[in-house]
Chain A
């Protein structure tokens, strides 16, 4: 072990090319001046540039459509939205509602983990196909190793109603014919003809569309981190507009105790009763 901490050289010393407030009052992001170079950007163009360093207004528009079409149902039954609605019904603040719901969106069966996982799977699948492994084998190996394939299968509903409108939008903008999105539907066909009940979900479709534009899994994850907020806020506002505590109240008898011992006393447990 060394005799000095590695942290000493970083003490009061953060050097970055990402940007920040300059002594002259300008603000840089990746070398661009926010006030003069990026001031005409749409928010999604700005975010795409912040995350990837890319300036591409068409791609930003596609991502914006993903946010609108695929991520923000104002339905308080969906778990992340329900957090926002619970914050509303218990009269917490809007930002806390959003922060809580956002954290919850990093879920496995939907949201950020599914998004990251679907994109990662498509990249790994493509790499395996390039090694002349057949698609069926890669999919089955994934299932065997992980017992799921991100981007396929869905809780509550089996078919994903977002696929069609998203693909229609993508086609209208000249997207949707690339190798990754084609792979997504090849996998879907494989599942259709198999004994498995998985069907393509929107994480694979959007992952495929963006992989065709060179968006990597972690970039996709970053670009969709805030995507679901459009669902939280109406759920929060709706709950605020109703009486306190009115969101799906639970009676005591809706708690079903399944533990081993229904009643016992503390001191008797320790032989002191």
Chain B
């Protein structure tokens, strides 16, 4: 390092050794001690590496299976999902592909079915765990914002769909799959107590609530869960945006007759 330069980036995640002939290129990269290109590439799965990047230790088999199951469940929530819809709007107008992912994240970040909801959902799990009385109290007396924030206050219990009627089958199927994984205790508890929680919340469990439980099961912090929930839904957003780009705006709803300006 040049003697005049003292500012560095401190990280527990990443370590590098430079190429002998180029200090700006890495010859070896380690993620939490593991050689990424000399070891992980041969021996780890993508899901294991994803877990490692966030948690700094490899997952055990249960954790790996939960994260993989969740990744499949969330990878494409379909064209009605708000984040995917946002991405398709980039597609039909011929916007940059980057913009499709940016808007999928922007829209998929929010309080309704989005990553901020998962952030709060994991906080609820941290506060309540498997104590049904604690859930009952927290749902009845949700935390209030002490001062204004860019995030708007929650308008419903995090993890439950205020526009839902009954818990949709894909949510139940995913919950049952994850709860069957050995020692997934919190997910088992959610499966067994889902209807009680739903009756307290007044709404059915949503994917955001299921994901919150899974992230809590993986001992991820709320902000880590928030990030992963955005990231894991991007494949569907990307693919649907590309599909609509090819298809074009003429074949995409404009809601021509559904819009009315009132004076």
Which residues of A pack against B, CB within 8 Å? 1-7, 11-20, 22, 28, 31, 92-93, 95-96, 99-100, 103, 106, 112-113, 116-117, 120-121, 124, 145-146, 217-218, 221, 249-267, 269-270
Which residues does chain B contribute within 8 Å of A4, judged by CB atoms? 165
A20 touches B165 (CB 8 A): no
Residue of A nearest to B8 (CB): A256
Which residues of B pack against A, CB within 8 Å? 1, 5, 7-18, 23-26, 30, 32-35, 39-40, 43-44, 56, 58, 96, 98-99, 102, 106, 146-150, 162-166, 198, 202-204, 255, 257-263
A5 touches B102 (CB 8 A): no
Of the listed residues A217, A256, A269, the one surrounded by the most CB atoms of chain B closer than 10 A to its CB is A269
Of the listed residues B7, B26, B150, B255, the one surrounded by the most CB atoms of chain A closer than 10 A to its CB is B150
Q: Mind listing 27 A-B residue pairs with CB under 8 Å? A: A1-B164, A1-B202, A1-B204, A6-B162, A17-B263, A93-B96, A93-B98, A99-B102, A124-B147, A146-B146, A251-B1, A252-B25, A253-B16, A254-B1, A255-B16, A256-B10, A257-B12, A259-B13, A259-B15, A259-B32, A263-B33, A264-B34, A265-B34, A265-B35, A267-B43, A269-B34, A270-B58
Which residues does chain A contribute within 8 Å of B263, judged by CB atoms? 17, 31
The 5 closest A-B pairs by CB, nearest first: A12-B258, A257-B15, A252-B18, A120-B148, A261-B33
B33 touches A262 (CB 8 A): yes
A121 touches B98 (CB 8 A): no
Q: Which among B33, B56, B165 is the interface contact of A2 at CB below 8 angstroms? A: B165
Knowing A221-B150, A266-B44, say if A252 contacts B24 (CB, 8 Å): yes
Q: Which among A3, A28, A113 is the interface contact of B149 at CB below 8 angstroms? A: A113
B150 touches A106 (CB 8 A): yes
B23 touches A113 (CB 8 A): no
Knowing A93-B96, A253-B18, say if A17 contacts B149 (CB, 8 Å): no
Q: Which among B8, B203, B262 is the interface contact of A1 at CB below 8 angstroms? A: B203
A124 and B31 alpha carbons, distance in the complex (Å): 46
Which residues does chain A contribute within 8 Å of B13, judged by CB atoms? 259
A96 touches B147 (CB 8 A): no
Q: Which among B16, B35, B147, B150 is the interface contact of A146 at CB below 8 angstroms? A: B147
Residue of B nearest to A248 (CB): B7
Q: Which among B15, B150, B198, B204 is the interface contact of A255 at CB below 8 angstroms? A: B15
Knowing A256-B9, A256-B10, say if A117 contacts B96 (CB, 8 Å): no
A149 and B44 alpha carbons, distance in the complex (Å): 46
A64 and B44 alpha carbons, distance in the complex (Å): 54
A270 and B59 alpha carbons, distance in the complex (Å): 10
A7 and B202 alpha carbons, distance in the complex (Å): 16
Residue of B nearest to A121 (CB): B147
A270 and B96 alpha carbons, distance in the complex (Å): 43
A209 and B58 alpha carbons, distance in the complex (Å): 53
Residue of B nearest to A266 (CB): B43
**Extra inter-chain contacts (7) besides given A1-B202, A92-B98, CB under 8 Å:** A11-B258, A14-B260, A17-B263, A113-B149, A117-B149, A260-B33, A269-B34
Query: In the complex, how many angstroms separate the beta carbon of A131 from the nearest chain B beta carbon?
Result: 17
